[in-house]
Amino acid sequence: QVQLVESGGGLVQAGGSLRLSCAASGRTFNNYAMGWFRQAPGKERDFVAGIDWSGSSKYYGDSVKGRFTISRDNAKITVYLQMNSLKPEDTAVYYCAGRYAYTAYASPEGYDYWGPGTQVTVSS
């Protein structure tokens, strides 16, 4: 079993940057593909980025391509989301998720474990 805890959220002005971290517990972290999702009030949970368990393949939602970068450090059992050029529409609760598979998946239903989320607010 894997437990996930996000950190790094906060308030930032448009055009600024934040780096989210997702710390995982459990010995089998290397066997999990990881994803980041976000959910704004009244909206569905959307795919932001995903990374396979080796870190060699990465996937991004269309709205964040070129601005966000996902990475992982298996030695530190942590996944990161570097967010640059932030926009007010990026405001949401950001969730880290893990699935026991090699490849990341763009649908929330494909994930087995979730963190509690961290709030990101981008002011205009």
Name the band, by pLDDT with cuts 50, 70 and 90, for residue 1. confident
**Looking at residue 78, what DSSP letter applies?**
E
Give per-residue pLDDT as tens, 24-60: 987 677 889 999 999 999 999 999 999 999 999 999 9
Predicted confidence at residue 27, as pLDDT, reads 64
Name the band, by pLDDT with cuts 50, 70 and 90, for residue 3. very high
Query: Number of C-alpha atoms within 13 angstroms, CB side, residue 95?
Result: 19
Tokens of 106: 């763009």
Where are any strands of DSSP class E within the chain?
Answer: 3-7, 10-13, 18-25, 33-39, 46-51, 58-60, 68-73, 78-83, 92-99, 113-114, 118-123
Cβ–Cβ < 8 Å for 80, 71: yes
